[in-house]
C-alpha cells in the first residue's frame, strides 16, 4: 500500500466528518444528495484500494475502478444539475 492511498483515505474520512457535522447547512447545496452519493463511491473505491493489497487483488482492483467510474459519473451528473440550476 502506498502512503498516498492511506492519506487520501484519512482526508476523505475527515471530509465525511465535516459533512455530517454541517449537514443542515450543506443540504442546501443544489443536488447535494448526488454529490454525497458520489463521495460515497469515491470512499468505497479508496477502501477497495487498500484492501487489494491484502486480499484478492484482482477482484478488489476491479471493484476499485468500477467505483471510481461511478464517482466520475456522479460528479458529472452533479455538475450538469448545477448548471441547470435544479434542486434535489
What is the rounded average pLDDT of the residues 3-14?
A: 88
Q: What is the chain's mean pLDDT, rounded?
A: 90
> pLDDT by residue (tens digit) across 50-87?
899 898 989 999 999 999 999 999 999 999 999 988 65
Give the pTM: 0.85
Best CA proximity match to 71, nearest among 88, 52, 48: 48
Distance CA 60, CA 50 (A): 9
Amino acid at each position: 500500500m502506498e502512503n498516498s492511498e492511506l492519506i487520501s483515505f484519512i482526508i476523505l474520512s475527515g471530509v465525511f466528518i465535516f459533512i455530517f457535522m454541517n449537514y443542515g447547512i450543506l443540504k442546501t447545496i443544489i443536488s447535494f444528495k448526488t454529490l454525497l452519493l458520489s463521495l460515497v463511491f469515491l470512499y468505497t473505491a479508496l477502501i477497495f484500494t487498500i484492501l487489494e493489497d491484502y486480499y484478492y487483488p484482482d477482484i478488489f482492483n476491479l471493484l476499485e475502478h468500477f467505483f471510481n467510474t461511478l464517482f466520475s459519473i456522479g460528479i458529472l451528473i452533479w455538475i450538469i444539475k448545477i448548471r441547470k440550476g435544479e434542486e434535489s
